Chain A
């Protein structure tokens, strides 16, 4: 079955430190891949997406993600986090149909 896994439920980093959030997918073929962010009490906002081509994708708010086919991964990174980055982050994938399948989410806490 198609699935997306985010191994880390909760991550805490210090402000100014680098960040990497992990995402693995299980699909028959390479799906379209997405990262969304959800601030408390809000809906989901698209950070970035990967369809094909360059495996390093740039997104909004200074985030980037790298697609690695050999590892079935699409990890999200940011060189230096800000307190405003505290939120929940969701990795998602879409195969042939329009359905998005989401990971369980990773909650990010920023220490001052």
Chain B
């Protein structure tokens, strides 16, 4: 089975810190995604990537950036964390030949 691994399940960071959320997939998928999940809002797309060094903004990119230097790794960066970025962050991947996504277990980030 495809595995998508998010490096941290829980993180607590201070306001203004630079935060890195890491995601690694092991099935050579071309496409990777970062979502944030908030109660009553479902999952909202932050950024996605179709290929190494390629990135595109999703629906809520403000306050975030991403990096994809290797095909298997897609990092989400909070340049200066704020309390309104407290959320659950989910990474997902899929290949061009498939239709469904595989999700990681999520990182619950709290910014204090």
A102 and B99 contact, Cβ closer than 8 Å, known pairs A42-B105, A43-B106:
no
Cross-chain contact A32 with B99 (CB below 8 angstroms): yes
Cross-chain contact B43 with A102 (CB below 8 angstroms): yes
Cross-chain contact A43 with B99 (CB below 8 angstroms): no
In the bound complex, CA of A92 to CA of B35 (Å):
13
Contact with B along A33-50 (1 / 0, CB 8 A): 010100001111110010
In the bound complex, CA of A101 to CA of B43 (Å):
8
Q: How far is the CB of B31 from chain A (nearest CB, A)?
A: 5
Chain B interfacial residues counted at CB < 8 A: 24
Q: How far is the CB of A97 from chain B (nearest CB, A)?
A: 9
Cross-chain contact B42 with A104 (CB below 8 angstroms): yes
A104 and B40 contact, Cβ closer than 8 Å, known pairs A42-B106, A98-B31, A98-B50:
yes
Q: How far is the CB of A92 from chain B (nearest CB, A)?
A: 8
Contact with A along B31-65 (1 / 0, CB 8 A): 10101000011111100101000000010000000
Contact with B along A1-37 (1 / 0, CB 8 A): 0000010010000000000000000000000101010
Count A-B contacts at CB 8 Å.
Answer: 54
Cross-chain contact A102 with B48 (CB below 8 angstroms): no
Q: How far is the CB of A36 from chain B (nearest CB, A)?
A: 8
Cross-chain contact A43 with B103 (CB below 8 angstroms): yes
Contact with A along B3-15 (1 / 0, CB 8 A): 0100000000000
Cross-chain contact A99 with B42 (CB below 8 angstroms): no
Cross-chain contact A105 with B45 (CB below 8 angstroms): no
Q: How far is the CB of B46 from chain A (nearest CB, A)?
A: 12
Cross-chain contact A34 with B48 (CB below 8 angstroms): no
| 21 pairs from A and B in contact (CB 8 Å cutoff) | A34-B100, A36-B103, A41-B105, A42-B105, A43-B4, A43-B90, A44-B92, A44-B101, A44-B103, A46-B101, A49-B99, A90-B43, A92-B43, A94-B99, A98-B48, A98-B50, A98-B94, A101-B45, A102-B43, A102-B44, A104-B42
Which residues in A have some Cβ–Cβ distance to B below 8 Å?
6, 9, 32, 34, 36, 41-46, 49, 51, 90, 92, 94, 98-105
